Amino acid sequence: MFRITVNYNHPENPEQFLEHYRTVHAPLTATMPGAKFEWGVCETLDGTTPEHFVVGVLTFDSKEAAIAGLSSPEGQAGSADMANFAAAGAVIDMHEVNAT
């Protein structure tokens, strides 16, 4: 398995970010071929402000499947949509998934 994690920084307008993410970006991303998509608003166990605001997780069968999904029209549309809501930036990590 291959995983892409997108950690979105805290936006200037959280409500506007979530409205766009819920109604536009998440549904768009969920159509990416070969991807299992999950997301959530970040929290901490002690109630302090988390480092990031929202995390999105894409899981693919392989790195090759991730490349194909991201290269698809749906993947390209999702990437392009980030300019519409993620002005505060994001940290993107990618890795092979190893289970023990």
Q: Domain extents for the chain?
A: 2-94
- pLDDT per position as a tens digit, 10-40: 999 999 999 999 999 999 999 999 999 999 9
Note the pLDDT of residue 98: 92
**Helix, coil or strand: residue 55:** strand
Phi and psi, residue 27, nearest 5°: -60, -35
pLDDT for 99 equals 82
CATH 3.30.530.20 is the classification of domain 2-94: no
Mean residue pLDDT of the chain comes to 97
Is 0.85 topped by the overall pTM?
yes
Residue 15 tokens read as 């409500």
In angstroms, the CA 13 to CA 37 distance is 24
DSSP at 9? P
